[in-house]
Chain A
Amino acid sequence: MPSTRRVSIQINGEKISAEVEPRLLLVHFIRETAGLTGTHIGCDTSSCGACTVLLDGRPVKSCTLFAVQADGGEISTVEGLNRNGQMHPIQEGFHLEHGLQCGFCTPGMMMSARALLERNPHPDEQEIRWAIAGNLCRCTGYQNIIKAIQYASKKMAEGVSA
């Protein structure tokens, strides 16, 4: 029986340490060890992007990464988006622009959007589409997701200038 390993991962600023089997996937660490079930498991084969989280600021699929690999790293999940109970502009955009229907892809979609807007605060439509190419949505047809991200881009720019 291979030995377990102690890992320590910051999730949304909180350090979570646990003794884990090396084969434990990061998404299970997030959902079961840390109890943060906002990150979803969709296809479980690295195709759908529902499990997208940010690892040291970059979006990755947490179903295709072992928790031991993220040891010492910083993870952001959908639960970390809001500030003191106030929705993040990305969340607000998805709400106001109807960027979701069933909502299953939304947490991953929003994390990809967040990574995009941090790197490129004013993306054009094409850039938004490329940035969410790894996130599948079976409800919206993507149009309103694009609008939601455009809303967030505008709102965040206003926040900076205000």
Chain B
Amino acid sequence: MIPASFEYLRPGSLNEAIAMLSEHGDEAKILSGGQSLIPMMKFRLSRPACLIDINRIPNLDYIKEEDGYLKIGGLTRETALEHSDLIRSRFPILHDTSFVIADVQVRNLATVGGNLAHGDPANDHPATMLALDAEIVATGPQGERIIPIKDFFVAIFTTALRPEEILTEIRIPMNGSRRGGAYLKVERKVGDYATAGVAVQVTLNDRGDVQRAGIGLTNVGPTPIKATGAEGALAGKQLTDEGIAEAARRASEEAQPSSDLRGPAEYKTALVQELTRRALYRAWERAKK
């Protein structure tokens, strides 16, 4: 399958890329890993007149701790998260997530920024970033602005990014020492989109109470879902079997799945409940370490 013709631009700097975006507007698409965009172009579901290939822009590919945040450059490949010691030791939830995205070949090209900016509710990082209360750094002609992740996913395939903005960084707050998280996904086979997925991140205070709980849901609604009701059920309390069961039940009520090839809505609702339960236990275990 051959995509429609397009003009190919290869900026060498972020400023140049933003200038190109401002000039071409809606006609242009950013080419990052291309692992969602290129298949869509081959199916002619997307026919951008112009592709702006940001892959040669320096300093957009990094994972670092700075100013109380874990900062991930927009162009960071999934493979980099998978092999990062910092991620494995401090944010196992991100390792869980990258590891179940597509397959090795796709992860070698696919980027974390692209996974979010695509706005696909079936993608895996959105739920994880919702659980982590991440911030998105969007860079445009006026400079940078910060978008809280809860405001980022506007509608299916639609994010709060403006046409002339590029997602340049993801910031994850690192407050609290007793943190733990997990991402669990049920897929029909390796590499598939989630039938359902649940991301959980908990922070415990000195007494072992839940200081904050973040829960995100994958592919059970038109946008990635932040299960605020389930989060609220946990906050300020000790984690108990009953509390976990209650949060899992609430999360399943917050899911809005539709029946499709991957299963009936009832099944997906039940999956959310069970995955939330299991993810909470795993997150708890990791937070206690």
Contact = CB atoms under 8 A, between A and B. Distances in A.
Interface in A28-79: 44-47, 49, 52, 55, 58-61, 64-66, 68-69
A60 B108 contact: yes
Contacts of A133: 103-104, 190-191
A59 B108 CA distance: 7
Interface residues of B, number: 29
Contacts of B51: 22
Contact of A23 (B4, B39, B106, B108): B4
B211 interface: no
A97 interface: no
A5 interface: yes
Interface in B1-53: 1-8, 10, 31, 34-35, 38-39, 42-43, 51, 53
Interface string B111-146: 000000000000000000000000000000000000
A159 interface: no
A114 to B, nearest CB: 12
Contacts of B53: 68-69
Given A60-B108, A60-B109, A69-B55, A22 B39 contact: no
A49 B5 contact: no
Contacts of B39: 45-46, 64
B6 A22 contact: yes
A45 B5 contact: no
Chain A: interface size category: 20 to 34
A22 B7 contact: yes
A41 to B, nearest CB: 10
A2 B69 CA distance: 43
A93 to B, nearest CB: 19
Contacts of A64: 34-35, 38-39, 106, 109
Contact of B5 (A23, A59, A60, A61): A23
Given A45-B39, A47-B191, A134 B6 contact: no
Contact of A46 (B35, B55, B108): B35
26 contacts: A1-B5, A2-B8, A3-B7, A21-B5, A22-B6, A22-B51, A23-B3, A44-B42, A45-B39, A45-B43, A46-B38, A49-B103, A52-B105, A60-B108, A65-B34, A65-B38, A65-B109, A66-B38, A68-B53, A69-B31, A69-B55, A115-B104, A133-B104, A133-B190, A133-B191, A134-B103
The 3 closest A-B pairs by CB, nearest first: A134-B103, A22-B8, A133-B190
Interface of A: 1-3, 5, 21-23, 25, 44-47, 49, 52, 55, 58-61, 64-66, 68-69, 112, 115, 130-131, 133-134
Interface of B: 1-8, 10, 31, 34-35, 38-39, 42-43, 51, 53, 55, 79, 102-106, 108-109, 190-191
